[in-house]
């Protein structure tokens, strides 16, 4: 149903339109250099776990925009809104219509005080929409990058005594990884609450490689850390890498495992001949930012999470 007679119509999509929504997000990423939907949102949409979603269409029925309200982490936890507008259909009021429809859905669900919205790349239009809906910046997620030449200059990964690194074994390591991840990210609003379903959804993605999920173990086989790498092909077929997540057990802190695992994963991706490697890090995580700075990563862009303004 349209939000107002003057606004583009926002429709409730059919379940079978999930691939079309994800394809739309891919077109936006190719144009902007930033994915408009994060992996959690894509995984939730793929399994039909969204709380609300809406789309706009052109005259022939082609999707021109999409927005979704999904759980940020736990299924019963706060929600997060993300939206995407096809680059060929911008400046036609679609973003405003989708944002208004999402705002109505949030109000109808009585989630306004907790729901946030992500602006990937923090484009000017996103900031303007946020202000229009009474939202203010609450968190900055930096995207940092190192190119192939920088990867070639990295030092080797030196393992602490008694530690070994091996690839993830599907069918055997799922529970081990989930426990390790929950411990390592106990204070993280999204990563630390990943479930078995979340893990399996990511393992089902085309980019997943068990060899690229590196587990660090002590001599007794206790998992003490991991580096999950992600390698994808861009539109031209050239591989691109990502430090998807690096986690270290609190019991293993202070042994240099974070730096070692980061380097191990970077070397793994370099062996795949990636053009470069991206990573996302909270601006407030000063030790991590310093580590990535020291390895040669530079700031490429920033994502901003918006929340309702105080008062």
Residue 117 has pLDDT above 80, yes or no: yes
Q: What pLDDT is attached to residue 186?
A: 85
Residue 235 has pLDDT above 60, yes or no: no
Residue 305 labelled as part of a binding site? no
pLDDT confidence band for 113 (50 / 70 / 90): confident
- Distance, CA of 173 to CA of 165 (rounded, Å): 14
Residue 254 labelled as part of a binding site? yes
15-133 and 144-301 have identical folds:
yes
Residue 237 has pLDDT above 80, yes or no: no
- Distance, CA of 246 to CA of 68 (rounded, Å): 28
Residue 271 labelled as part of a binding site? no
Residue 44 labelled as part of a binding site? no
| Superfamily of domain 144-301, CATH level 4 | Gcn5-related N-acetyltransferase (GNAT) (3.40.630.30)
Residue 124 labelled as part of a binding site? no
Lowest-confidence region among 39-43, 205-209, 231-235: 231-235
Residue 295 has pLDDT above 60, yes or no: yes
pLDDT confidence band for 2 (50 / 70 / 90): very low
Q: What pLDDT is attached to residue 1?
A: 42
Residue 67 has pLDDT above 70, yes or no: yes
3-state SS assignment for residue 216: strand
Residue 194 labelled as part of a binding site? no
Residue 170 labelled as part of a binding site? no
Q: What pLDDT is attached to residue 49?
A: 92
One DSSP character per residue, 64-132 reads EEEEEEEESSSTTS-EEEEEEE-GGG-SSSHHHHHHHHHHHHHHHTT-TTT-EEEETT--HHHHHHHHH
Q: What pLDDT is attached to residue 3?
A: 45
Residue 215 has pLDDT above 80, yes or no: yes
- Distance, CA of 266 to CA of 241 (rounded, Å): 8
Residue 290 labelled as part of a binding site? yes
Residue 280 labelled as part of a binding site? yes
Residue 96 labelled as part of a binding site? no
Residue 304 has pLDDT above 50, yes or no: yes
Residue 288 labelled as part of a binding site? yes
Residue 289 labelled as part of a binding site? yes
Residue 190 labelled as part of a binding site? yes
Residue 5 has pLDDT above 60, yes or no: no
DSSP letter assigned to residue 21: H
Residue 286 labelled as part of a binding site? yes
Across residues 191-212, what is the average pLDDT?
A: 90
Residue 117 labelled as part of a binding site? no
Report residue 300: phi and psi, to 5°: -110, -35
Q: What is the pLDDT of residues 248-280, one digit of tens each?
A: 999 999 999 999 999 999 999 999 999 999 999
Residue 285 labelled as part of a binding site? yes
Residue 30 labelled as part of a binding site? no
- Averaged confidence pLDDT in the chain: 90
pTM for the full model? 0.77
- Distance, CA of 14 to CA of 182 (rounded, Å): 34
Q: What is the pLDDT of residues 10-49, one digit of tens each?
A: 999 999 999 999 999 999 998 988 889 998 899 999 999 9
Q: What pLDDT is attached to residue 189?
A: 61
> Do 298 and 146 meet the contact criterion of CB atoms below 8 Å apart?
yes
Residue 246 labelled as part of a binding site? yes
What does the domain layout of the chain look like in residue ranges?
A: 15-133, 144-301
CATH of 15-133, one of 3.40.50.970, 3.40.630.30, 3.40.630.10, 3.40.190.10: 3.40.630.30
Residue 192 labelled as part of a binding site? no
Q: What is the pLDDT of residues 144-157, one digit of tens each?
A: 999 999 999 999 99
For 253-280, give one letter per residue: b (16+ CB within 10 A) or e. Answer: eebebbbbbbbbbbebbbeeebebbbbb
Residue 122 has pLDDT above 80, yes or no: no
Residue 78 has pLDDT above 90, yes or no: no
Residue 4 has pLDDT above 60, yes or no: no
Across residues 78-94, what is the average pLDDT?
A: 93
């Amino acid at each position: 149903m349209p939000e107002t007679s003057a606004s583009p119509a926002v429709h409730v999509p059919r379940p079978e339109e999930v691939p079309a929504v994800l394809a739309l997000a891919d077109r936006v990423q190719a144009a902007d250099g930033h994915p408009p939907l994060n992996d959690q949102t894509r995984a939730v949409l793929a399994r039909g776990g969204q709380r609300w979603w809406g789309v706009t269409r052109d005259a022939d029925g082609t999707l021109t925009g999409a927005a979704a309200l999904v759980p940020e982490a736990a299924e019963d936890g706060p929600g997060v809104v993300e939206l995407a507008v096809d680059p060929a259909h911008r400046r036609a009021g679609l973003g405003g219509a989708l944002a208004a429809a999402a705002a109505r859905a949030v109000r109808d669900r009585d989630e306004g005080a907790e729901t946030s919205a992500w602006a990937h790349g923090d484009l000017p239009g996103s900031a303007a929409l946020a202000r229009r809906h009474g939202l203010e910046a609450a968190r900055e997620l930096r995207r940092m990058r190192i190119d192939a030449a920088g990867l070639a200059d990295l030092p080797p990964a030196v393992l602490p005594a008694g530690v070994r690194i091996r690839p993830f074994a599907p069918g055997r390591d799922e529970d081990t990884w989930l426990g390790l991840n929950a411990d390592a990210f106990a204070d993280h609003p999204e990563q630390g609450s990943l479930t078995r379903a979340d893990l399996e959804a990511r393992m089902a993605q085309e980019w997943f490689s068990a060899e690229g999920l590196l587990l660090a173990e002590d001599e007794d086989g206790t998992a003490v850390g991991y580096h999950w790498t992600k390698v994808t092909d861009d539109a031209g077929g050239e591989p691109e890498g990502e430090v998807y997540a690096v986690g270290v057990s609190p019991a293993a802190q202070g042994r240099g495992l974070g730096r070692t695992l980061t380097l191990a994963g970077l070397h793994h991706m370099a062996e795949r001949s990636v053009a470069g490697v991206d990573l996302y890090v909270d601006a407030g995580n000063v030790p991590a930012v310093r580590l990535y700075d020291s390895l040669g990563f530079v700031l490429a862009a920033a994502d901003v999470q918006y929340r309702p303004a105080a008062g």
